[in-house]
Amino acid sequence: MTERVVPSPLRDRCVAMGGAERIRQFETEGYVVIADALSPARIAALKAELATMPMRPSFYTDAPSFSTVPPHTHGPEAGALIGNPPVLDFARALMGDALVFMHSFYILSHPGSPALELHTDYQPFGGTYSQWLESCPLRVRVLYYLDDTRDDRAALRIVPRSHIAFHADAQPYRRYRDHPDEVTVPLKAGDAFVFATRLFHGVGPNITQETRGMVEIDYRPLWARPYGPVPDWSEDQLRYVPDALRDMARHRNATDAAWEFDTRRAAVDTPAPGMSPHRWGD
């Protein structure tokens, strides 16, 4: 039987984008797709490693869907994923070279899993679920898909541009069952969906007989520390993280910002292309 393929215009639109176009797409729409960020061989290696990951039920299904430990603490394939060049290069172009690795997670959507409501991954005042982890004023989340998704197989649902809305309807602690302007984004195994954590997003139901796997990774710029303390990774938790990535991973509370206002603070003499109106290449 031939597998049904669902057209994904939002994905296809991103495939041919250059660096400046990707930044514009991310900043205006709230997301970008980096297609084929993982090779088939790397997907297979990750799946083999994650097959022994301890899992627990989630808040929306009793199936063992959420990893009990961060995947980068479980094996070297997931540890190296933190530094995956196609995605890390984009994150640095978007936010600057000084990044902090904040979070990794492994999620399975089993046959029969229900839809997940539209929500954000931003909790500026902290929360009972993630404490201060999601309070960073600027943070990017990457979803690595290990299986194809379709509209019947736990496909991502998003509300484009919701990350820049000032209206109270975009209050980041709200959840919505659906939205008239939401769109579904079917993705292929190996794709990376990179999005602003204020973007409202959810997941469609999995009404197939196939399980869908996904790895999450979060980055923030060094200046955008959480508003409250979060546990730093221990050396044991970083044992599978390559040495070249240790500085980015070691201190989740690190910052280089001067938080006290000082009218005598020296100005920085730099062209600052990252905030130029020409950063989109126009």
pLDDT digits (tens, 9 = 90+) for 173-207: 999 999 999 999 999 999 999 999 999 999 999 99
For the cut 70, the answer to whether the pLDDT of residue 3 exceeds it is no
Which one is predicted more confidently, 84 or 129? 84
Report the predicted TM-score, pTM, of the whole model to 2 decimal places: 0.95
Secondary structure class of 73 (helix, strand, coil): helix
CA R_g for the chain: 19
Secondary structure class of 169 (helix, strand, coil): helix
Calculated CA dihedral for residues 209, 188, 241, 129, nearest 10 degrees: -60
Location of structure tokens 């980068």: 72
pLDDT band at 271 (very low <50, low <70, confident <90, very high): confident
What average pLDDT does the chain have?
A: 93
Q: Is 25-257 a CATH 3.40.630.10 domain?
A: no
For the cut 50, the answer to whether the pLDDT of residue 2 exceeds it is no
The one-letter amino acid code at 121 reads: D
For the cut 90, the answer to whether the pLDDT of residue 269 exceeds it is no
- Give the per-residue pLDDT at 1: 37
pLDDT band at 116 (very low <50, low <70, confident <90, very high): very high
pLDDT band at 59 (very low <50, low <70, confident <90, very high): confident
Judged by average pLDDT, the poorest of 4-13, 46-55, 154-163, 201-210 is: 4-13
- Give the per-residue pLDDT at 4: 55
- Give the per-residue pLDDT at 223: 94
Rounded mean pLDDT of 78-91?
Answer: 98
Q: How far, in Å, CA of 195 to CA of 202, rounded? A: 12
For the cut 50, the answer to whether the pLDDT of residue 260 exceeds it is yes
Is residue 66 within 8 Å of residue 58, measured between CB atoms?
yes
Q: How far, in Å, CA of 79 to CA of 233, rounded? A: 13
Q: How far, in Å, CA of 204 to CA of 160, rounded? A: 16
Q: How far, in Å, CA of 205 to CA of 149, rounded? A: 11
DSSP state of 202: E
Beta 64-67 vs 55-57: how paired, if at all? Answer: antiparallel
- Give the per-residue pLDDT at 16: 87
How many C-beta atoms surround the C-beta of residue 2 within 10 A?
4
Which one is predicted more confidently, 59 or 32? 32
Give the domain ranges of the chain.
25-257
Is residue 263 within 8 Å of residue 7, measured between CB atoms?
no
Judged by average pLDDT, the poorest of 22-26, 176-180, 270-274 is: 270-274
Q: How far, in Å, CA of 191 to CA of 188, rounded? A: 6
CB within 8 A of 169, min separation 6: which ones?
none
Is residue 187 within 8 Å of residue 11, measured between CB atoms?
yes
State pLDDT tens for residues 128-185.
989 999 999 999 999 999 999 999 999 999 999 999 999 999 999 999 999 999 999 9
Judged by average pLDDT, the poorest of 3-7, 85-89, 239-243 is: 3-7
Q: Identify which of 255, 249, 258 has the alpha carbon closest to the alpha carbon of residue 100.
A: 249
39-44 long-range CB contacts below 8 Å, 24 or more apart?
39/190, 40/189, 40/190, 42/77, 42/190, 43/146, 43/189, 43/190
Judged by average pLDDT, the poorest of 74-78, 247-251, 265-269 is: 265-269
pLDDT band at 60 (very low <50, low <70, confident <90, very high): confident
Q: How far, in Å, CA of 33 to CA of 11, rounded? A: 6
Rounded mean pLDDT of 210-214?
Answer: 97
